[in-house]
Amino acid sequence: MSACCCGNFCDREDPKQRALQAAIARYRGVAGALIPLLQEAQEIYGYLPGEVMEQVANALNLPFSKVFGVATFYAQFHLKPRGRNIIRVCTGTACHVRGANSVLESIREALGLKGEGTTEDLRYTLETVACLGACGLAPAMMVNEDTHGRLTPAKALEVLKQYP
């Protein structure tokens, strides 16, 4: 790695780094660039590594604390790697009374997760949500953009197999 035009030591051969530098070049000097640039950076990396936030801060002449503050304020930004498949298990009232907890427990156990989080192989990220707006299908979960309802613990695990 060598000193780059962005002022950081970054690997210009890395396709992600090249894409980030292209995004930075587009936003440099543009008012209100921080959030859209962070969004693009997250699309490229899947999350916002610290070094990427540093590069964004340097490129926009902002203190790192400002970039970090924005990245931690908005729920859309993630500071840790996320899985290829995002599982959102509903724990809202309708789902709760129809067995969401046992569905959630079976998924946690199968994925080896204690709470919410990401599997080591980055295949899945597990989250809980208050309502998916699919209460008639309770208990329900989403995997990426797909809604799956009337789940049982076993059915939930079968569904997950569809997402490599």
Binding site for ligand FES (CB under 6 A): 90, 92-95, 131-132, 134-135, 138, 140
How near is the Cβ of 88 to ligand FES at its closest, in Å?
10
Q: Is 154 helix (H, G, I), strand (E, B) or coil?
A: helix
- State which residue, 54 or 127, has the beta carbon closest to ligand FES: 127
Query: DSSP letter string over 121-132?
Result: TSSEEEEEES--
How near is the Cβ of 136 to ligand FES at its closest, in Å?
8
- State which residue, 82 or 96, has the beta carbon closest to ligand FES: 96
- State which residue, 34 or 132, has the beta carbon closest to ligand FES: 132
Rounded to the nearest 10 degrees, the angle between the axes of helix 50-60 and helix 34-45 is 150
For ligand FES, which residue has the nearest CB?
Answer: 92
- Residues 6 or more apart whose CB falls under 8 angstroms from that of 139 comprise 90, 95, 96, 98, 99, 100, 103, 149, 150, 151
How near is the Cβ of 133 to ligand FES at its closest, in Å?
6
CA distance 119 to 85: 10
- State which residue, 10 or 104, has the beta carbon closest to ligand FES: 104
- State which residue, 48 or 138, has the beta carbon closest to ligand FES: 138
Q: Let me know if 15 is exposed, middle or buried by CB neighbors in 10 A (0-12, 13-18, 19+).
A: exposed
How near is the Cβ of 59 to ligand FES at its closest, in Å?
41
Whether 149 and 98 have beta carbons less than 8 Å apart is answered as: no
How near is the Cβ of 70 to ligand FES at its closest, in Å?
30
Looking at the DSSP assignment, which residues form a beta bridge with residue 89? 128, 141
